[in-house]
Amino acid sequence: VLLGRPAAPGQSRARSFLAEVKDGQLNLRFGTDAVGVCYGGSSSISWFLNGLLIRKAESKDKDLISSAEKGSLREWAVLGPFKDKDCEALYDITMPIEQKVDFTKEYNGLGGKISWQVFKDQNKKGFAIISFADLFKKYEEVYAYAATHLHVRKKTKVKLYIGTTGLAKVWLNGKEILLDEVNNGLREDEYIIPIELKRGWNMLLLKVCNNWHRAWAFCAGVTNINDKPLKEVTISAYQK
Q: What does the pLDDT look like over 74-120, one tens digit per residue?
A: 999 999 999 999 889 999 989 999 999 999 999 999 989 999 999 99
Query: Taking residues 231-240, what's their average pLDDT?
Result: 90
Rounded distance, CA 7 to CA 200, Å?
Answer: 35
Q: Is the pLDDT of residue 14 over 60?
A: no
Query: Taking residues 193-219, what's their average pLDDT?
Result: 93
Q: Is the pLDDT of residue 134 over 90?
A: yes
Cα–chain center distance at 166: 10
Q: Is the peptide bond before 81 cis (omega within 30 degrees of 0)?
A: yes
- Closest by CA to 191, choosing from 215, 213, 169, is 169
Query: Taking residues 57-69, what's their average pLDDT?
Result: 63
If 0-12 CB within 10 Å is exposed, 13-18 middle and 19+ buried, where does residue 64 land?
buried
Rounded distance, CA 33 to CA 185, Å?
Answer: 9
Q: What are phi and psi of 224, to 5 degrees?
A: -75, 180
pLDDT, tens only, 18-53: 778 888 888 877 655 455 544 444 444 445 566 777
Q: Which of 3-17, 138-152, 158-172 has the lowest mean pLDDT?
A: 3-17
User: Is the Cα torsion angle 228, 229, 233, 236 positive or negative in sign?
Assistant: positive
pLDDT, tens only, 138-152: 889 999 999 999 999
Reduced to 3 states, what is the DSSP secondary structure of residue 230? coil
pTM metric for this prediction: 0.78
Instruction: Say if CB 90 and CB 144 are below 8 A apart.
Output: no
Mean pLDDT comparison of 1-10, 124-133, 169-178, highest-scoring range: 169-178
User: Is the Cα torsion angle 193, 200, 149, 232 positive or negative in sign?
Assistant: positive
Rounded distance, CA 190 to CA 192, Å?
Answer: 7
pLDDT at 3: 40
pLDDT at 200: 97
pLDDT at 86: 85
Which H or E run contains 82? strand 75-83
Instruction: Say if CB 18 and CB 57 are below 8 A apart.
Output: yes
